[in-house]
Homo-oligomer: A and B are copies of this chain.
Amino acid sequence: MKELDRKHTATLLRNASHVLILGHANPDGDCIGSMVALLLALKTMGIQATAWAVAPIPLKYRFMDSLFQKPDPASTNSWDLTVCLDTPCRSRLEVDPALIPSDVPMLCIDHHRISKDEFDYVYEDTSQSAVGCMLYELFCDLAVPLSREMAEALYAAVITDTGCFTNRNTDIRAFEISVELIKAGADPGTLAEYIYLSASVDQLRVLGEVLESLELLSDGRGALMYLSDATRRACMAESADTENFVNYARSIFGVQVAAMLIEAEDANHVRVSLRSKERSVNVSDFARQLGGGGHPCAAGVTAHAPLAEYLPEFRRELTAFIDSLPV
């Protein structure tokens, strides 16, 4: 593994001739926007590039989906670099890494802490609020002119990962970069409409059900919500529809720790999302305790049990964690 700075990452990209671009499973706006922006930048530089996504792109990011393609099997021999974006470990890649010829070096670019041993090259910057911000600066180094399409993709990346400039990770660079993206043609109102005004009825119905499950713990310092596989099916909602629901619990005044439990489609395991409002309430400590991990303010766990079985145990553990926090 070789750890690169931005300058050397730029050199590595500049010397490639055919780049395969990959992202994580259930890709979000930072992942999709970054993939699209890098694809377009490389093409502008005269470098062949393929952005590969297996599942359909979610409706709200559909304005970018025409650029994704399933690779032509004949072309895989020409790949000389794979770039994994917003995906800090190989197991989170959406495309099975076994499908990539093992002699193609793999570069990971991420603002998450990267499992460095799993990649040949690593460009990590955990100070950045989005991979889109890292790419913007990389494109400046590469002197790639920003097209409107690139600016829109990067803007989608920035607003997704900063929660439209509301998350704790939102820094001045996110705004400074947005100014440049707007100059290059990104329109905040239009892109917000694509990304935020694209709910489905099923999604709002399942949100209604989830909100009915809301309960407070430890004198209102904790909030817990959950969704069974049966309820989700009854609402005809997809798992992706429930992304970010945990933020409703987090939004409650006085709540320090928010948790959302979603039973998986096989009803045999539960995905737990944990959120706090400030780094001093470190939910990744709690997640690790339960076998998961993440960041101080956003962490997760996968529990191998049906929801009904796991819920009482989790409620006890969460209450104990909150009660252990300084008041």
Contacts and interface: CB of A to CB of B under 8 A. Distances in A.
Interface stretch (A71-79, A133-141, A171-179): A171-179
A145 interface: no
Given A166-B196, A211-B211, A277-B197, A179 B172 contact: yes
A91 B266 CA distance: 58
A57 to B, nearest CB: 14
A193 B277 contact: yes
A104 interface: no
Total copies of this chain within the assembly: 2
A169 interface: yes
Contacts of A166: 164, 188-189, 192-193, 196
Given A162-B188, A172-B179, A175-B175, 4 more contacts: A165-B165, A165-B188, A170-B189, A199-B251
Given A205-B214, A251-B196, A168 B183 contact: no
Nearest to A212: B208
A185 to B, nearest CB: 11
A210 B211 CA distance: 11
Contacts of A210: 208
Interface in A202-247: 204-205, 207-212, 214, 216, 220, 223
Given A164-B164, A165-B165, A252 B204 contact: yes
A159 B166 CA distance: 10
Contacts of A249: 204
B198 A251 contact: yes
A200 B165 contact: no
A248 interface: yes
A290 to B, nearest CB: 25
Given A172-B182, A179-B172, A212-B208, A252 B201 contact: yes
A214 B248 CA distance: 19
A178 B183 CA distance: 16
B189 A248 contact: no
A198 B167 contact: no
Nearest to A59: B253
A251 B211 CA distance: 18
A55 to B, nearest CB: 18
